[in-house]
Structures are given as C-alpha cells and as structure tokens.
Chains A and B, each alone.
Chain A
Amino acid sequence: MTTPTPDSVLSLTINGEARSVAGPASVAALLDEMGLTGKRLAVERNGEIVPKGLHASTPLADGDRLEIVVAVGGG
C-alpha cells in the first residue's frame, strides 16, 4: 500500500470517476471538499469500509478507489 506524499496531487477514483485532490488529505477532508460533511453516507476505500469514526484519521493515498454511498428510494 502506497503512503501519501506530502504536498502532492492524489489521483483517486471515486464512484467510478477519476478525481484529483491535493495531498495530504484524509477521508474527512475529501468529504468536506465534496460538500458531503454531515451527510448520512458510508465510505469504502479499496474494498474496505472506513468507519465514520476513522474518517478524519484515515489518509488517502494515490490510486485509492473509493465508493461513497447513500440511502435512496427503493423497493
């Protein structure tokens, strides 16, 4: 697993789309940048769920694949 390089650009894949963010950045920082702070959601990073309590302390790494999901209408 790669470690974040200080003051770098992190190339991420979020919900299947490419997105770059300035590193270093935590999961919480990314959610904030996306306007998602405080929203009820779940985050999966490279296939593993990042619990809400660890969003601020989980650093993103270059090449990370993220899934950010919410509850929507369904039967």
Chain B
Amino acid sequence: MDDLLTIAGKSYSSRLLVGTGKYKDFAQTREAIDASGAQIVTVAIRRTNIGQDPNAPSLLDALPPSQFTYLPNTAGCYTAEDAIRTLRLARELLDDHRLVKLEVLGDPRTLFPNMPETLKAADVLVKEGFQVMVYCADDPIQAKMLEDIGCVAVMPLASLIGSGMGILNPWNVQLVRDAVKVPVLVDAGVGTASDAAIAMELGCDGVLMNTAIALANDPVKMAGAMKKGVEAGREAFLSGRMPKKFYTASPSSPTTGLISS
C-alpha cells in the first residue's frame, strides 16, 4: 500500500518538498531537484527584470509547471497585506493555481515569523479560496488556530531559515503534530539528512528545505541524501521504534548456555 502525502485533496509520493533558491544556476537547480525526488517546489514572486534579455532562460524553462507542483511563497513579506497581494499575483501568474505557501516575517535578521500577521493573512487567503500551507512558529496553540482558519497544512520551523541548525525543539514539533489533523511539515532549519530523518521520525508528514541542499558542497549529492533521509525517517516512524530506556539489563544474546570452566 502506498504511503502517500495528501495535501488539499491531492496526493504525492514524495514527502520531501524543496525550494528553488540559492543554486548556482538553473541547470543545478533542476539536477538537484531531480535527485531529491521532490514533486512540490517553492518559488518566489518578484518584479521582472526590465532590460534583461527577454529570451534569457527562466526558472520555468528548467522546472516546467506541467512537471512540478509549484508552491508560490511570500518570502520578503512583513505584513499580511503584502503577503495577500503577493499571493493574488501568484494565482494570476499560475492560471488560478491555489496551493500556496504563506510566510509573514517579523525580523529581517532572524526571519522569524510574525504570527499575528500570519494569522490575519491566512484568514483572508482561505476565504479567497487559496489552499494555504503556512510557515509558522512551533507553537501548538497557533498551529491549531491556523488549522481552524482553514489552512491545509501547518509548517513549523525547526530552527531559523537558512541556519542549518536542525530540529532544535523536537518536543514542540511533536506538540504541533499532535495539535492538528492537517499535514505537518517541518519547514526551515534542516541542515543535513539526519535532521530530515528526525523530523519524519517525530511523525511529521513531510519536510520542506532549500538551503540544506543548495548550500551543500555537492547539492546534487545532498539532494539524494535528503531523499533517503526522509524515506528512512518515515519508514522508521511507521515501524514503531523500540522504547528508550536508560538501562534494561536485557542483552540481545541468550543468557543460558554460557561456557564455563
């Protein structure tokens, strides 16, 4: 039986979602995303570069929207108003595509989310028919509020965006996971494959990452590692791990039949 990730009524075989920023060039972007097996990719919405050669290749040439599910984000938005405006433009850009990533930042140094503005934006966007996957603090109370508003997924940070610090508070991630019924994806802070595996072992439904792959010495190799990390973590979670115990006096070998003089 397939263990599929279902978001807003659509199912995906990959539980690894990746961003498209910070790569060397479009070729590397495509190669890394292929190696990751990701089906959902985030993109940013920005002013077109006037004066640029209109025939220059674009991200959409390297990652056709027909082959990938695009997740437009609101990176760089510090108010609900800006985030809403950005996603309305994204929806027009992508022919009424409604699955979006909402993030409203509160501090340009840490990129920590402004949760009151996030809640405000989520409410408006859901009412306008968007399917909102929302980047948020690892706060189980606010995660439930976002679910109640109608967000289709909650995406708590494990550590700061781009920090690679890993899952700093696995207890809060579990609290978020337990607080909602919609998919929970760790978004932000993953640095290496074991971080991704830990997120999945905590029972998360998926992981979203960008910097961990793009800034690895070998992004394509790391993308492959992340794919395996997410799969390994998910399988371990589904297996039901053994309990942790300080000591058990319970060896794995028989205690009888020992030779003696």
Chain A residues with CB under 8 Å of B59's CB are: 71-73
Check if A42 is an interface residue, CB within 8 A of chain B: yes
Do A67 and B90 have beta carbons less than 8 Å apart? Answer: no
Contact B48 A15 (CB under 8 A): yes
Query: Known contacts being A40-B60, A49-B88, is A69 close to B93, with CB within 8 Å?
Result: yes
**Nearest CB of B to A31, in Å:** 10
Whether A72 lies near B50 (C-beta < 8 A) is: no
Interface residue range, chain A: 20 to 34
Total of A-B residue pairs, C-beta within 8 Å: 102
Q: Is A70 close to B, CB under 8 A?
A: yes
Which label, helix, strand, loop or mixed, suits the secondary structure of the B interface?
Answer: mixed
B interface, how many residues as a size bin?
Answer: 35 or more
Do B50 and A34 touch (CB < 8 A)?
yes
Q: Which of A36, A69, A75 contacts B89 (CB 8 A)?
A: A69
Interface membership of A44, Cβ < 8 A: yes
> With contacts A40-B60, A42-B90, A49-B92 known, is A73 near B48, CB below 8 A?
no
A67 to B23, CA, bound (A): 26
Give the complex CA separation of A58 and B161 in angstroms. 41
Question: Of the candidates B19, B54, B88, which one forms a contact with A74 in the assembled complex, judged by CB atoms under 8 Å apart?
Answer: B19
CA distance in complex: A34, B58 (Å):
16
Which residue of chain B is the closest to A39 with respect to CB atoms?
A: B54
8 Å CB interface, A21-75 against B: 34-36, 39-44, 49, 51-52, 67-75
CA distance A17 to B94 in the complex (A): 25
With A74-B42, A75-B162 known, 11 other A-B pairs at CB within 8 A are: A39-B58, A40-B65, A41-B48, A42-B92, A42-B93, A44-B85, A67-B89, A69-B47, A69-B48, A71-B93, A74-B210
- A residues neighboring B (CB under 8 Å): 14-17, 19, 34-36, 39-44, 49, 51-52, 67-75
